[in-house]
Amino acid sequence: MPVLAWAAFPLEAFRYTRSTLKLFRSSEHGQREFCGDCGSQLLFRYITSAKSVDVNIGTLDKPTQVKPECHIWTESQINWFDIADELPRHRQDIPEHKT
């Protein structure tokens, strides 16, 4: 199971600049979006009432410019993965991501 780092961006601040997009509805409430050329998972977005998109920071040109603020979905954290910082932790998503 991969460990991914995500950054949430307001919908109005996000746009694709190239490539062909592929969509996969991964649950009743969300979809994942992939590069149609290479298959990289680019982002997750809630289907209804979304105000932000969660972008896989490994796909950004400058991922080190994104500073972490918290950890989400820790209830499904892999038992051998140690979070070695003091950032806030949320067992599931944080409310502002869902709306």
Q: Where are the beta strands (DSSP E) in 36-83?
A: 41-46, 52-56
Is residue 96 pLDDT above 80, yes or no? no
- pLDDT at position 87 is 92
Domains of the chain, by residue range, sit at 6-93
The DSSP element (H or E) to which 96 belongs, if any, is helix 95-98
- Indicate the pTM of the whole model: 0.77
38-93 pLDDT, tens digit each: 888 999 998 887 888 999 999 889 999 999 888 888 898 888 988 889 999 998 88
Work out the average pLDDT over 10-25. 87
- pLDDT at position 5 is 87
In angstroms, the Cα distances linking 19 to 1, 26, 53, 77 are 26, 21, 18, 32
Q: φ and ψ at 4, to 5 degrees?
A: -115, 145
Taking every pair of Cα atoms in the chain, the longest distance, rounded to a whole number of angstroms, is 39
The closest alpha carbon to 50, from 63, 65, 66, 33, belongs to 33
